[in-house]
Amino acid sequence: MKKQPFVTKQKLDEIIKEYPTPFHLYDEKGIRANAQAVKEAFSWNPGFREYFAVKATPNPFILNILKEYGCGCDCASLTELMLADALHFKGEEIMFSSNDTPAEEFVFADKIGATINLDDFSHIEFLEKAIGHIPETISCRFNPGGVYEISNGIMDNPGDAKYGFTKEQIIEGYKILKEKGAKKFGIHAFLVSNTVTNDYYPALARTLFELVVEIKEKTGCEISFINLSGGVGVAYKPDQTPNDIRVIGEGVRKVYEEILVPAGMGDVAIYTEMGRFMLAPYGCLVTTAIHEKMTYKDYIGVDACAVDLMRPAIYGAYHHITVMGKEDEPCDHKYDVTGSLCENCDKFAVDRMLPKVDIGDVLVIHDAGAHGYSMGYNYNGKLKHAEILLKEDGSTQMIRRAETPRDYFKTFDCFDILKDMQFPNEQ
Ligand SMILES: *Cc1c(COP(=O)(O)O)cnc(C)c1O
């Protein structure tokens, strides 16, 4: 399938006149249509809620759009909790699925009424010490170990992942939590990342549904919510078939009717914590070609770098690139598309066939709406760029300004160095 940007060249040229590249651009229309589809796909389950994984796109404007569709927030750190709280998400709309958690983060999560999803057996005691009690509503994260297989083969290796309780631990854990006064129990598992198959959630649902039936028998704890977490992926590559959330929702419903309803558990709520599926396709990184370098390979240097989008640099992830205005030209040039970091992995694409790129061409790097801006860092003292929302009516709104050198140096503000510093961008 041909991957097309959600914005036309004409529109993008207009936007660039107002906001110089590079920037992240988000598509409000796409975000809304997808959030609505998710809501409908699980509407068969009255308790359903998607807790958007804040780490994917921690922007208040984006979170507020998702809130209109009933989404809550899945947080894993103090600042993510602070953001959700500041946007007036209610306690029951905040899931705290953290790991290696500092005590003070449990304290804050408890204070704002978030649902705490424990990552480890030892955290039962740790949490009780930290907050002085065990909350009435509590969730535990399960890790089945081994390799996780579904009909189309091995998907991932949970046995190697740092997350979650073993089966024996989780059964023992619920018994202890119950003794300590917990009344409402949840279970969570995140076994495979970026799955591009409609079968992952239904398979995970089966694993968890069978387990909760066993937990009820062995511990007397009735699980009241089952959190399928994240892992529903997107088609980064043009030859992949995107997931169909309606098919996924229907697949989960079938397993629910097959296992939970006969076990007398037909009132269990299904939760999800998708990040990538909610946002990745509806954001892109817009950048301009500023150099061409021909040595042993042909390099196009752009004005964005791995600081804006790290996935290619850290995982060799594929992100599709469209050279705006050249969509119909033959892809007969082979390039590495690079950023300016002093790191050879700072490449958005390696040996990518593209139309001939000229200096000044605008490149759209697709599917950067999740785990894009948020994963960025400040290596080489590179500053983070702005985030722009393309609204439904075609207008734009800056939803985060670009960092300035003052932002970058502000943690030295208790020293003298700032008074001797020149700020060339402030003249
Ligand atoms: C990262 C994460 C998610 C979201 O994952 P996606 O693959 O973006 O859907 C959900 N839950 C937890 C606990 C996570 O760490």
Which amino acid residue places its CA nearest to atom 7 of ligand 1? 231
**Other CB atoms within 10 A of residue 14 CB:** 13
pLDDT of residue 150: 85
The band of 247, judged by pLDDT with boundaries at 50, 70 and 90, is very high
Ligand 1 atom nearest to 141, measured from its CA: 13
pLDDT digits (tens, 9 = 90+) for 284-324: 999 999 999 999 999 999 999 999 999 999 999 999 999 99
Residue 419 has pLDDT above 90, yes or no: no
Region 371-391: mean pLDDT is: 97
Q: What is the pLDDT of residue 152?
A: 72
Q: How far is the CA of 228 from the centre of ligand 1 (A)?
A: 10
pLDDT exceeds 90 at position 427: no
Cβ–Cβ under 8 Å, residues 239 and 282: no
| Ligand 1 pocket residues where CB is under 6 Å | 53, 55-56, 74, 76, 97, 190, 193, 229-232, 273-277, 370
Measured in Å, residue 422 CA sits from the centre of ligand 1 at: 41
Name the amino acid, one letter, at 334.
Answer: K
Q: Which atom of ligand 1 is nearest to the CA of 194?
A: 7
Q: Report pLDDT for 420.
A: 87
State yes or no: cis peptide before 202, omega within 30 of 0.
no
Q: What is the mean pLDDT of the chain?
A: 96
The percent of residues in the chain predicted with pLDDT above 90, rounded, is 94
207-236 tens-digit pLDDT: 999 999 999 999 999 999 999 999 999 999
Which residue out of 190, 197, 276 has the highest number of ligand 1 atoms within 8 Å of its CB and is therefore the one to mutate? 190
What top-level class would CATH report for the domain 281-415?
mainly beta
CB distance 73 to 94 below 8 Å: yes
Q: What is the pLDDT of residue 23?
A: 98
Shortest-distance atom of ligand 1 to CA 97? 13
The pLDDT tens digits for 99-118 are 999 999 999 999 999 999 99
C-alpha dist (Å) from residue 340 to 70, 114, 138, 291: 41, 41, 46, 10
Query: Which of 155, 200, 273 to mutate for ligand 1's pocket (most ligand atoms within 8 Å of CB)?
Result: 273
Mean pLDDT of 321-343: 97
Compute the distance from residue 75 Cα to the ligand 1 centre, in Å: 9
CA distance 41 to 44: 8
Residue 1: is its pLDDT beyond 90?
no
| Reported pTM | 0.97
| Nearest residue (CA) to ligand 1, atom 13 | 97
54-69 average pLDDT score: 98
In the chain, list all ranges with CATH 3.20.20.10: 26-280
Answer yes or no: are the C-beta atoms of 423 and 405 closer than 8 Å. yes
The atom of ligand 1 lying closest to the CA of 278 is 9
**Which atom of ligand 1 is nearest to 276's Cα?**
8
Residue extent(s) of CATH 2.40.37.10 domains in the chain:
281-415
CA–CA separation, 178 vs 289, rounded Å? 60
* Token pair in block for residue 117: 């999803």
CA of 94 to the centre of ligand 1 (A): 14
pLDDT for res 426: 87
We find that the CATH architecture of domain 26-280 is Alpha-Beta Barrel (3.20)
- 419/279: higher pLDDT: 279
Taking the centre of ligand 1 as the mean of its atom positions, its distance from the CA of residue 162, in whole angstroms, is 14
Cα 231 to middle of ligand 1, angstroms: 6
| Selection from 206, 133, 120, 127 nearest residue 170 by Cα | 120
The rounded Å distance from CA 273 to ligand 1 centre is: 6
pLDDT tens per residue across span 134-178: 999 999 999 999 999 887 778 889 989 999 999 999 999 999 999
Are 338 and 302 within 8 A, CB to CB?
yes
Amino acid at 248: I
User: What is the position in ligand 1's atom list of the atom closest to the CA of 275?
Assistant: 8
Q: Are 338 and 304 in contact (CB under 8 A)?
A: no
Q: From the CA of 356, how far away is ligand 1's center (Å)? A: 37
Tell how far the Cα of 209 is from the centroid of ligand 1, in angstroms. 20
pLDDT at 153: 79
